[in-house]
Structure 1
């Protein structure tokens, strides 16, 4: 596997959190704290179970979230932000504010 080089910091950040769902998952975990799978699925409307599983695996592999498995019956798994994930969430906050400020205009784009 070849090592990827990035053009700039934005390129590196997008590579880690790219796609629609990861940002929403980060936001939900940042707002709610530790969540179980079902709670997280309800917190991110529109995401399918399969997509949530894929995104959580990628985010865990990149160090954005922590997955804690409680060995009990029925199985209990909890997801939370790592310090790395929380720092990305903090960096995305101004972008989210910009989106809120301009949502009406963005929604009007054909």
Structure 2
């Protein structure tokens, strides 16, 4: 039998002045990281690759990633204005773990599909 979980398991989790110990982002963060891996891109270019993501959700994702320090938003002084999004050093440091997670998912895809099928039954 396992030990009961302790209320002190995450002692600092309720401290509002500290970020969560590990938070990569929302549902689309990994996809955006992959899109920006080869260099900066404009919003419209990201929309082509991520065509199933609504513009509103993509904008929210980009803002959250900028807030968390994963990417930069560069406005070029042109007419019309050109805005590009690019990975920061912090954002780029997530590519390795993202690659590892993708490799794991590919290796275990049959097991995951089987578990999902069994769950639906």
The TM-score range, normalised by the shorter chain, is 0.7 to 0.9
Q: Higher helix share goes to which structure?
A: 1
- Is it true that 1:19 corresponds to 2:26 in the alignment? yes
Q: Note closer, same or farther for the CA distance 1:105–1:59 as it changes in structure 2 (3 Å cut).
A: same
Q: What is residue 107 of structure 2 aligned with on the other side?
A: 101
RMSD: 1.9
Displacement of 1:47: 0.7
Q: Note closer, same or farther for the CA distance 1:62–1:5 as it changes in structure 2 (3 Å cut).
A: closer
Pairwise mapping of residues 2-13 of structure 1 onto structure 2 (< 5 A)? 2-4=16-18, 6=20, 12-13=21-22
Question: In the aligned structure 1, how far is the partner of 2:66 from the partner of 2:34?
Answer: 15
Q: What is residue 42 of structure 2 aligned with on the other side?
A: 36
Structure 2: gaps spanning 5 or more residues: 1-14
Aligned residues: 102
Q: What is residue 59 of structure 1 aligned with on the other side?
A: 65
Structure 1: gaps spanning 5 or more residues: 7-11
Question: In the aligned structure 1, how far is the partner of 2:53 from the partner of 2:105?
Answer: 20
